[in-house]
Structure 1
Amino acid sequence: MNRPILDVNEKPNLGQLITLSLQHLFAMFGATILVPYLVGLSPAIALISSGVGTLAFLMITKWQVPAYLGSSFAFIVPIIGAKTIGGPGGAMIGSFMAGLVYGIVALVIKKAGHRWIMNLLPPIVVGPVIMVIGLSMAGTAVGMAMNTMKGPEHYSMVHFSAALVTLVATIIFSVYMRGTLSIIPILAGIVIGYVYSLAVGLVDFSPVMKAKFFQWPDFIIPFVDYKIKVTLDLILLMVPVAVVTISEHIGHQLVLSKVVGRDYIKQPGLHRSMLGDGTATMISALIGGPPKTTYGENIGVLAITKVYSVYVIAGAAVAATIFGFIGTITALISTIPTAVMGGVSILLFGIIASSGLRMLVDSKIDFGSNRNLVISSVILVIGIGGAFIQVTDGFQIQGMALAAILGVILNLILPGREAAIDDMFEASIEDHKVNTF
């Protein structure tokens, strides 16, 4: 391994700190604001919660793990469902419970080690569930791109052209650019799509003109903005998704260990990074932000720049927090046309689905085996088809949650199960070399 330019605990000078921190901020920016945009939460709070959550993660991991935490795409559909059940407060309660699951799993890992969880979540379960996460949002992405979210009669070729320009730009930056530019394809696509939208008259600047430079975001605070009411339907809607993001977290830690040249599974320990991730999600839920996850985009920045300093990550976190309080930036984000977000979502959700498929391929899953064929088929059709179990009048187990639960159960009860733990680790390494959530 080549010697890093700045190792984990080396301090950059002021100029390096500002430049390198902004680079990490830009790498996570597009994806982090896209999630709240899709689920109807505040992008400003998403930025603040990502910054505060990352600082909490760094402290819990003893300032040894240079990871940035942004908004998790895995929870898009569950958050929308939770808002339907209990409004924004319901989504926050569900998100907090998902973070709590991380804490419980971290405690079990500390006591019993980490290999048991890989037995519970082999590639044949996690791969199809990841595919469901991406494909279940396909209709939303296309509807945003074509401006048909409110019905087919609202179709607009102008909107669709903005989406296509955004999509093409994102693809070009993903495939043809090298170095740092290849790490920010989402942000680059949004910027180019925005400029095109401005040219064709899709951008309304009035919110920017009215915005104050400093603006207090609309935080969603428990007991103030909503009452705490934990229901079984919220638990079963959000908690099963945490099972998948926990697997994602492990994969990211393996990749990060390889990039930085340390074994983060052992030191400071998977239990600490898992607890840090869960704590960031709980902090986010307490102020009105989406659940958090470590970001492949920022791991990519580390790999390319060979700058591993936790001070740079902390600088990016502080910058994100400050940006969330700048009203002009928040207003500017709100002027991004839906079609532009739809264009970038087409690629992003497809990449998520494809990464699930890649996990199956890299793990050499044998689909000549009826066992594997049954598990993957049930997960895909139940999850994408939107199947649900109506338990009571106000309680359903639905979609992705039902698919994940059935996948775990089938894996445990069908004959021929192999505890392919090492294969799962390798799959996670390969899978998370591609930016996913």
Structure 2
Amino acid sequence: MEYVIIGGDAAGMSAAMEIIRKDPTAKITTLEKGDIYSYGQCGLPYVVGKHVPSSTDVIARSVEMFRSKYGINAKTGYEVTNIDVVNKKVSGNILQEGDTFELQYDRLLIATGASPVIPDWDGSRLTGIHTIKTIPNTEAIIADLEHAHQVTIIGGGYIGLEMAENFAILGKKVRIIQRGDQLAGIFDKDMATLIYKEAANHHIEVILNEEVISISGEERVEEVLTNKGSYQTDLVLIAVGVKPTTEFLKNTGISTLPNGAIIVNAHLETNVEGVYAAGDCATHFHRIKQKDDYIPLGTTANKQGRLAGFNMMGNVEEFKGIVGTSIMKFFDLTIGKTGLSEKELNQLGIQYETHMQQATDIAGYFPDKELMHIKLLYRRDNQLLLGGQIIGGKGVDKRIDVLATALFHQMAVTDLLDLDLAYSPPYNGVWDPLQQLAKRMGRK
């Protein structure tokens, strides 16, 4: 059995390792366009901010380790440009050699991930304009920061916020330009207000409701122009989102969503026999929406990759889906979300209610307690949980994970009262904040 995997990061190498663990004699070829395998992309902002000393620290396994220890034929600088699904062949370019290649496969996994969106603005290729997705991206930003005093981030989502914090830690003046009317668009606006206040507390300039139309400069970026004004800058980070890296599939017959995400079933199979897909280039079944979605996260990529490898060997195991859980640090805040927002619920036409309250992470009488702002969303007819958003200090991560588990198992708000959660005054109140909220809603 010849296994070919396109992509050498989270999903691709999780699949390769699953296969090699089950069958040490398996013939696996992995094709990576870059030079680095298996690294933690989510850690890259913290390399810029020097929380993580070196970009090499986020590499889980080297290319040499995959080759020598595990016997995987790990290629670097191999760019796949075509898949012949009839004759089961992949072909493309060997970038370092200026040559081409062609490989036969029995089972193929597409794990090409996602690429940063770079709008077609005038000046978007000037020196000093960056994205952050790879280790070379990160090292380029670090090298360029010595020339920068004023940094402008275009995009106020998770990456934009994480990078804003890390630039500020380095003593840079930081500006965020956001096309919409709030930061962190996956949150409801009433919760996002807390994020805006935190940005202001740390002297981050936030420009909302302005759309970038061009970037100008001689050779290096000097100015960002929007539909409402212009802003001098020394360095620009574009963080307006990502798109699946699947352009090379156009003539293969492999089905995708309009955004390019490869449609897979519960076994990570595409509509073409013998071809699988996983990670940031594939769809992710949303358990609450009950349909395919696209929420690219490292956790999902690793899980999908492992199951794809298992199923490529002829086994049958299902990917159970996601509920849309994420968390991030923004200065002194922890920002967590799981499930659906009000915007998503309105789009789906689901009748819902919300409940908000403040609570402390530990017993109210214990020193050093920290405040959390909690918002729950639930069905109007039966109080089935639909989503939760929590912003605060310590303890947010614990409660978001409890809510994510409750959503996965389709629990109602009042079911939270039955959970046997850990209690000791330094860690919790006798009633966990989620249970306090459930009690109040039950009385309501």
Same fold flag (TM > 0.5):
no
Q: What TM-score do you get using the length of structure 1 for normalisation?
A: 0.26
Larger helix proportion of the pair? 1
Larger strand proportion of the pair? 2
Q: What TM-score do you get using the length of structure 2 for normalisation?
A: 0.25
Query: Which structure has the larger Rg?
Result: 2
Higher RCO, Cα 8 Å, sep 6+: 1
